[in-house]
Structure 1
C-alpha cells in the first residue's frame, strides 16, 4: 500500500521533532518544527548544507561515516543510528540535540532523513536532579556532623554531671559509715547530688525544646504582660551595669504560647546579652504588630504576627558565628561557662509555637534577635489564682507501671508513705495481669509512656475498657506518643514530666484523683 503525498506531508508536519531531508548533505525538505528548533525560515534552509546547523564541525566526518556505511548495505530504508550532537540556532547559540538518521530510497534516489530532538529541557532536568542529589548528600553530611556534635555535647555535659553525682554520693556513704558521721557534711554532699541532678533535668528539657519534643501547654497570652512579669527577674539576672529598656506596643494582639517557654526564651536571650556586655550597656525589648505578605518570610505564611525584638549593645558576633548561632552545643564561651543550648532552645520554642526567629549581629555594634509569633484570636484571659494542692492519700489504690526498677521503687515509696495503696508492675502485660487479679477498685493508673512491649497509651486504653472508673496519669521524660502534632497534650490527658520530686508526684496524683 503506497501512502499519498498528503498523508506523508501530514505525518511530516505532525512530528514533535525537527525533520530534515538531505541529498548529499544539502537540505531539500524540512517540517515546521525544524523552523522552530533552529530559528531559520524554511526558505532559508532549503538548498543549504546541513553542516550549518552544527555547532561543532568535528562531528561532520562521523556523520559522513554513518552515511557511507548505510550506502554499502542493500537498497531500501536503512536506520543508520542515533547520535548526540551540539546543534546551532540561527542566532549562533548552541544547544544539545540528539539526531536519529536513516537512509531512504526515494523516487529521485537515496536521501538521508534526520529526526533532530532538542535535548535542552532534558539536560536541564538532569542537571537539576543531579544538583538535588548533591544537595541531599550535602544535607545528609551536615546532619551527621550536627548529630555528632550534639552527641558529643550531651556526652560531655552529662559526664560532668554524673561525675559530680557519683562522687558526692560516695562522699555521703563514706561519711555515713564513718565512726562519727557529721550530719551537716552528709546534708551538704547530698545537696550537691541534687543540684547536679537538677542541671541534668534542665539540660534534657532544653534538648527536648530544641527538638520540639517538649510538652507544650499553650495559653492565650498578652505578650506585653509576660514581659512585664518577667522584667524583675531579668533585671536581677543582667545586673546593675546593664540598663533594661522595654518598649511595648499599645493594643498588641494576643498570642497562643506556653508562658513558661516564653519566660525561658527571654531569660536565655537576656543571659546571652549580659555575657556580651561585661562592661555594661543596654538591653532593649520591644514589641509591635506585624503583617506579612505572601513570600515575605520563607518560613511563615502570610498573615498577622506579633514581633518581639531583643537587642543589646554588646560585642556582637562575627559573620561565621552568626550562621552557626542556633546550632546545638555551639558556643564561643570558655569550657564550663555555657552549654551552647541557649539559642538552640529559643529556636525550638519559637518554631514549635508556629513562629520564626532570626538573628542579626555585627562586631562592636551588638546583636538583635527578632521573634515573630502568630497573632491569636480573642482576649488574653486573666491569670488564674493558684490554690494550694493537697497531697495526702486516703487509702486509694494506685497501679504504678514503670519499666525502670529503681524509679518504680522510688514512686512506690513516695506514694505508700503518703497513704496510698500501691500495686507495682514493670510493664503493660504484668499490669493487666495484676488488674485482673485485683478484686477491689483501682482508682488511678500511674504509667510511664514509653515502655518495651506495650506503650502506656495502649495499656491505659485496655485497662479503662474493663475498668471505666479508673483514671490515668502518665509520667514521662519523652511523651511524644501521647502528644498532639504541635507538642500539646491531647484532650483529657494528664502528664507528669520526669524527673519529678516527691511533691511533683503527690501533687499530680492528688489533682488527677480529685478531677
Structure 2
C-alpha cells in the first residue's frame, strides 16, 4: 500500500513539527521535519518500529493505540543524543484500518531559554548577595572608623571643658586638646570625601586641563609623602591631549596611589608615574617596585574597605576611591600585579575636545564683610549657629532661619536688602533650590550660595554642577565660608 500517495500532502510535509504515522507501532510515514529532528533519512525511518527514536521512558505510550495529550518527553537521534520534545498522539480511522498519528515538537530552544532564565536568576541572586555583603562591609567599616573619630572628638572636647573650668586653666593644654578635636574632624571629613568619590556622589567641578601639569603641581608633595627611601620618577608624555577632570580629584587619586606604593615598599624602591597619548584617550600609569599582590588580592583590590594592612593602618578605601574618581570622569582603571614584581595601576581618561581652562588667580584669603545682610538657612541648629557666629564676627549682618518657610517669612518682614542667601541644599519641607527660586522672584538682586555635603539630588547630574551654581561643601572651616561668601558677593 502506497501510504505516501494517500496521506502525504503539502500541509503534512510543510508542518513545523515532526509527524510520524504509525501502523501497529511501525512508522509508515514521516515528514521532512521528522528527518531533521531524528537525524535519520526517511528511508531508514519507514518500516521501523517507533521505539527506535523514542527513549525508554516514552516508548510505552506510543505502543498504545489510544490517543494521548501533549506529553513532555524525549527522543533519541541517530547519533545517540537525546532531545527534549513534546509529543501528542491521535488515533485515526482510515479505509486501511486504525492508524496512530504522532506529532513531536522540538523543545530544545524552549529548554535552552529556561536554562538561560535559570542561569540569569542564579546570577542575579549571587550579585544581590555580593552587593549586600559589600554594603555590610562598607557599613561596618564606616561605623568602625567614625566610632574611633567620634571617640577622640567627644573625649578631647570633655578635656577642653574640664581644663577650662579648672581653677588654673592651662591655655596651652586647652589649645593642644582642641587641635586634637580638629584633627579628628579633618580625618572624618577626608573619609567622607573618599566615600563620596567611591560612590560617585562627590560634588566635582571638572575643567579641561593638562594631566602633565596637574602631576607636576603635586609632584613635590608626593615626594615628601613617600619618604626619602623611595625614588619618584615622573615621565610626562609629549603632545598629550587635554582631559576633562576635577584637578583636586586627580591629585587625590595620585596621593592614594602613592600612599599604597609607599606601603608596598617599606625598604625603598622606585615609584614611576608616566603619561602618554593612547588613541583617543590619555593613559597614566603609576608603577611601583614593591612586593606586589597575589591574584586573589588583585581581584578584590577595588572593593571598599578591602585591605591587607593591619588594623588601624588603613581604611581600605584608597583604590576604591581611585575607581570612583576615574569612573565618574568617564574613564577606565585597571591593576596588574604579581608577588615580588610590583604593581601597576593604569588609568585611561577620554581626551577632551575643549581648550585648556585658565587657572583661577583670585585671592583665596578671607575678606571681612562690609555690613552686607546675609540670610542663612540651615536645619541643623548647631551648624546654623556656627555659620552665624563666623559671619557675624566677620562684619556681616546675619538673619538665620531653620527652614524655607521661616526664611521667606524673615525676608518678607525685613525692610532692607538681602545681599546673599546662604542655604543648605536638602532641608525638610522645602529644598534650598525651591527657596532660592521663590526668594529671587521678590528679591531678584539677592545672590545665592548653597551649602551641602551631598548635592547630587538637587544640583547636578552625574556629579557635575549646573552652570552658575555656587556651592560650599560641608564640612567647611571659617576661612572656607568667608572666602565663598566674599566671592559670591563680588562675583
Deviation at 1:315, TM superposition (A): 0.8
Secondary structure class of the residue paired with 2:189: helix
Contact map agreement 2:366 2:479 (CA 8 A) in 1: no
Q: In the aligned structure 2, how far is the partner of 1:452 from the partner of 1:388?
A: 33
Secondary structure class of the residue paired with 2:461: coil
Secondary structure class of the residue paired with 2:146: helix
Secondary structure class of the residue paired with 1:184: helix
Secondary structure class of the residue paired with 1:214: coil
Deviation at 1:259, TM superposition (A): 0.6
Q: Which of 381, 404, 414 is equivalent to 1:438?
A: 414
Q: In the aligned structure 2, how far is the partner of 1:433 from the partner of 1:128?
A: 61
Residue 145 in 1 paired to residue 133 in 2?
Answer: yes
Residue 89 in 1 paired to residue 88 in 2?
Answer: no
2:48 alignment counterpart: 48
Contact map agreement 1:220 1:376 (CA 8 A) in 2: yes
Pair 108,213 (structure 1): closer, same or farther in 2 beyond 3 Å: same
Contact map agreement 2:212 2:275 (CA 8 A) in 1: yes
Residue 167 in 1 paired to residue 155 in 2?
Answer: yes
Q: In the aligned structure 2, how far is the partner of 1:446 from the partner of 1:381?
A: 28
Contact map agreement 1:80 1:101 (CA 8 A) in 2: yes
Q: Which of 312, 322, 328 is equivalent to 2:298?
A: 322
Q: In the aligned structure 2, how far is the partner of 1:6 from the partner of 1:256?
A: 78
2:246 alignment counterpart: 258
Q: In the aligned structure 2, how far is the partner of 1:455 from the partner of 1:14?
A: 68
1:503 alignment counterpart: 479
Secondary structure class of the residue paired with 1:95: strand
Contact map agreement 2:50 2:62 (CA 8 A) in 1: no
2:429 alignment counterpart: 453
In the TM superposition, structure 1's runs of 4+ consecutive aligned residues that sit over 3 Å from their partners are 5-8
Pair 7,432 (structure 1): closer, same or farther in 2 beyond 3 Å: farther
Contact map agreement 1:242 1:274 (CA 8 A) in 2: yes
Deviation at 1:400, TM superposition (A): 1.1
2:215 alignment counterpart: 227
Q: In the aligned structure 2, how far is the partner of 1:7 from the partner of 1:419?
A: 105
Q: In the aligned structure 1, how far is the partner of 2:61 from the partner of 2:251?
A: 75
Select between 464-473 and 322-331 the one with higher mean Cα deviation: 464-473
1:17 alignment counterpart: 17
- List alignment gaps of at least 5 residues for structure 2: none
Secondary structure class of the residue paired with 1:13: helix
1:176 alignment counterpart: 164
1:73 alignment counterpart: none
Q: In the aligned structure 1, how far is the partner of 2:414 from the partner of 2:462?
A: 38
Contact map agreement 1:456 1:474 (CA 8 A) in 2: yes
2:62 alignment counterpart: 63
Deviation at 1:500, TM superposition (A): 0.5
Contact map agreement 1:350 1:357 (CA 8 A) in 2: yes
- List alignment gaps of at least 5 residues for structure 1: 71-78, 292-303
Q: In the aligned structure 1, how far is the partner of 2:220 from the partner of 2:366?
A: 30
Q: In the aligned structure 2, how far is the partner of 1:487 from the partner of 1:256?
A: 13
Q: Cα RMSD between the aligned structures? A: 1.8
1:189 alignment counterpart: 177
Select between 448-457 and 385-394 the one with higher mean Cα deviation: 385-394
Contact map agreement 1:482 1:490 (CA 8 A) in 2: no
Deviation at 1:366, TM superposition (A): 0.8
Number of residue pairs aligned between Structure 1 and Structure 2: 487
Q: In the aligned structure 2, how far is the partner of 1:144 from the partner of 1:248?
A: 42
1:298 alignment counterpart: none
Contact map agreement 1:165 1:192 (CA 8 A) in 2: yes
Contact map agreement 1:87 1:94 (CA 8 A) in 2: yes
Q: In the aligned structure 2, how far is the partner of 1:388 from the partner of 1:235?
A: 25
* Cα shift readout 1:201-245 (whole Å, capped 9, x = no counterpart): 000000000000001111111111211221111111111111111
Secondary structure class of the residue paired with 1:314: coil
Deviation at 1:461, TM superposition (A): 2.1
* Cα shift readout 1:20-63 (whole Å, capped 9, x = no counterpart): 11111111222222222223333332222221212x22422243
Q: In the aligned structure 2, how far is the partner of 1:352 from the partner of 1:477?
A: 17
2:329 alignment counterpart: 353
Q: In the aligned structure 1, how far is the partner of 2:241 from the partner of 2:233?
A: 21
2:204 alignment counterpart: 216
Q: Trace 1:385-404 onto structure 2 (pairs within 5 A).
A: 385-389=361-365, 391-404=367-380
Residue 28 in 1 paired to residue 37 in 2?
Answer: no
Residue 383 in 1 paired to residue 359 in 2?
Answer: yes
Q: Which of 256, 260, 263 is equivalent to 1:272?
A: 260
Q: In the aligned structure 2, how far is the partner of 1:91 from the partner of 1:388?
A: 82
Pair 511,7 (structure 1): closer, same or farther in 2 beyond 3 Å: farther
Contact map agreement 2:364 2:483 (CA 8 A) in 1: no
* Cα shift readout 1:260-311 (whole Å, capped 9, x = no counterpart): 11111111101110111111111111112223xxxxxxxxxxxx11111111
Q: In the aligned structure 1, how far is the partner of 2:412 from the partner of 2:39?
A: 85
Select between 205-214 and 337-346 the one with higher mean Cα deviation: 337-346
Q: In the aligned structure 1, how far is the partner of 2:459 from the partner of 2:197?
A: 14
Q: Trace 1:396-415 onto structure 2 (pairs within 5 A).
A: 396-415=372-391
Deviation at 1:6, TM superposition (A): 10
* Cα shift readout 1:105-130 (whole Å, capped 9, x = no counterpart): 22222111111111111111111111
Residue 105 in 1 paired to residue 93 in 2?
Answer: yes
Deviation at 1:367, TM superposition (A): 0.7
2:350 alignment counterpart: 374
